[in-house]
Amino acid sequence: MNNHDWFVRAQAVMPGGVNSPVRAFRAVGGEPLYVERAAGAYVTDAGGAEYLDLVSSWGPLILGHAHPEVVAAVREAAGRGLTYGACHKNEALLAEAIRRVMPHIEKVRLVSSGTEAAMSAARLARAATGRDGIVKFRGGYHGHGDCFLIDAGSGALTFGTPSSPGVTRAAANDTLVAEYNDVESVRAVFAANPGRIAALFVEPVSGNMGVVPSAPGFLSQLRELTDREGALLVFDEVITGFRVAPGGAAERYGVKPDLTVLGKIIGGGLPLAAFGGRAEIMDLLAPLGGVYQAGTLSGNPLACAAGLKTLEILARDNPYPALERAGGDLERRMAAALETTPFPWAINRVGSMFTLFFGIRHSPGFGAASLADTGLFANYHAKMLARGVYLPPSQFEACFLSTAFGEKEADRFADAHAETVAEL
């Protein structure tokens, strides 16, 4: 059976044939790949075709697919049991590993998904402050919890449904929306809601309206504003944590949040996420405090083993300078091929994550990103896929490099990009 055969079969038993909407390829046309196996920087589909992979499972695979040391750690853990529903040492070891490189996270609670972590952080912030309001940014995505599906980015932006049916008016009323990289809009929201705001959630590098870096000084201004207003500053580092620096965006930009949401890389490719922060806030969680949060599979031993080994390798090998160089070199080669094109374009990059936008020349926030030419991107995506390069099937997602992405892969990508651009 090929990709098409599996997609037909899946559509009969799954909504849209997928378990996550962006996988359906509706934003770019065509039909999704069905991955049979993956190794290093490549995936192979059901028909046996090999693709250079810049999706990287949407970010966690900083070491590439099936890294031998990570696979060995998972196999060894599986031999001791797949799940316990009980405490085990790797939970504590992983929490310690996180705190070593992110010392502002004094205590951490492991969960299974970024959505779960963000929802729990919002509940905790409300309990800590005695307030109900949550501020987020237009185009920002913090999972599919009700309070975050207001002017959401990523898949919701791709499908033109920034607010979801099923979200109650009460949830919507407690969510306040500001403009990313516009601190005056944040001040206006606080001024209009005195004493009401529990927390401000921000992706310190947006990865869900395409990659959009925070402007110089923006995060520090948010820190000052939330301190003054008695609200908590929450960094959503599901994507940027251990990706843009060893200590995530908090280290890269020198701003310490009150709470942090983590995911992706801390699970080494398996389902694992976390939220953490100042001890006095985290100790409000049950069993110490009254804020209830629980999960049978939280701290799954296989996921903890994969995450621990991944963080160990990152600490040992320090691949961040090489990833920064690889990202910069690729950006320059992409720009060189685009310089003579008749259409506007922009490349936003932070370290090893980037987005190529079509139809705009600058993307500092949601307003510009939403004007991108999704039709031209769909054409680009299809031509790159035909040349064996697998990109995220949405204009509003990020591409990710890994340590498995070497000179050969850079040449393959750059050649395919140049040929594709010439045809657009």
What pLDDT does 157 receive? 46
Tracing tokens 């869900």 back to the chain, one arrives at 208
Indicate whether 161 pLDDT > 50.
Answer: no
Beta strands, E only, 207-352: 212-213, 232-237, 259-262, 273-277, 345-350
Contact predicate 354/399, CB 8 Å = yes
- In this predicted model, what pLDDT tens digit does every residue of 52-64 receive, in sequence order? 999 999 999 999 9
- In this predicted model, what pLDDT tens digit does every residue of 194-207 receive, in sequence order? 999 999 999 999 99
Tracing tokens 């185009």 back to the chain, one arrives at 139
Lowest mean pLDDT among 156-170, 175-189, 193-207, 339-353: 156-170
Indicate whether 151 pLDDT > 80.
Answer: no
CA separation for the pair 397, 211 (Å, rounded): 7
What pLDDT does 166 receive? 86
- In this predicted model, what pLDDT tens digit does every residue of 59-89 receive, in sequence order? 999 999 999 999 999 999 999 999 999 999 9
Element (H, E) at 218: helix 218-229
What pLDDT does 159 receive? 45
Sorting pLDDT into bands at 50, 70 and 90, what band is 156?
low
CA separation for the pair 91, 295 (Å, rounded): 14
Residue 21 DSSP code: G
Quick check: is 84 catalytic?
no
CA separation for the pair 99, 178 (Å, rounded): 30
Catalytic residue among 42, 141, 380, 390: 141
Catalytic residue among 136, 256, 264, 383: 264
Q: What mean pLDDT is predicted for residues 234-240?
A: 98
Contact predicate 390/43, CB 8 Å = yes
What pLDDT does 170 receive? 79
Q: What mean pLDDT is predicted for residues 99-115?
A: 97
Indicate whether 185 pLDDT > 70.
Answer: yes
Catalytic residue among 53, 151, 182, 236: 236
The strands making up 35-39's β-sheet, listed across from edge to edge, are 35-39, 42-45, 50-53, 389-390
47: amino acid identity, one letter? G
CA separation for the pair 206, 259 (Å, rounded): 17
What pLDDT does 149 receive? 80
Indicate whether 152 pLDDT > 70.
Answer: no
Residue 392 tokens, joined: 């995220």
Q: What mean pLDDT is predicted for residues 311-337?
A: 98
- Smallest CA-to-CA distance from 247 within 335, 320, 350, 338 is with 320
Quick check: is 408 catalytic?
no
Ranges of each domain in the chain: 3-62+319-423, 68-316
- In this predicted model, what pLDDT tens digit does every residue of 29-60 receive, in sequence order? 999 999 999 999 999 999 999 999 999 999 99
Positive or negative, the Cα torsion across 228, 245, 402, 277? negative
Lowest mean pLDDT among 166-170, 217-221, 408-412: 166-170
Indicate whether 158 pLDDT > 70.
Answer: no
Q: Which residues contact 269 (CB under 8 A, 6 or more apart)?
A: 57, 60, 61, 65, 70, 306, 310
Q: What mean pLDDT is predicted for residues 15-20?
A: 96
Residue 57 tokens, joined: 């499972």
Quick check: is 236 catalytic?
yes
Indicate whether 127 pLDDT > 90.
Answer: yes
- In this predicted model, what pLDDT tens digit does every residue of 274-310 receive, in sequence order? 999 999 999 999 999 999 999 999 999 999 999 999 9
With pLDDT > 90 as the criterion, what percentage of the chain qualifies?
90
Q: What mean pLDDT is predicted for residues 162-190?
A: 87
Q: Which residues pair with 175 in a beta bridge?
A: 134
Lowest mean pLDDT among 1-5, 15-19, 174-178: 174-178
Indicate whether 104 pLDDT > 50.
Answer: yes
Q: What CATH number labels 68-316?
A: 3.40.640.10
Pairing of strands 212-213, 205-206: antiparallel
Q: What mean pLDDT is predicted for residues 204-222?
A: 96
Supply the DSSP string of 146-204, one letter for each residue. GGG-SS--THHHHTT-SS-TT--HHHHHTEEEE-TT-HHHHHHHHHHSTTTEEEEEE-S
Q: What is the mean pLDDT of the chain?
A: 95
What pLDDT does 153 receive? 57
How many Cα atoms occupy the beta-carbon half-sphere of 250 within 13 Å? 25
Residue 125 tokens, joined: 């912030």
What pLDDT does 162 receive? 47
- In this predicted model, what pLDDT tens digit does every residue of 331-372 receive, in sequence order? 999 999 999 999 999 999 999 999 999 999 988 898 899 999
Note the CATH architecture for domain 3-62+319-423: Alpha-Beta Complex (3.90)
Determine phi and psi for 72, rounding to 5 degrees: -65, -40
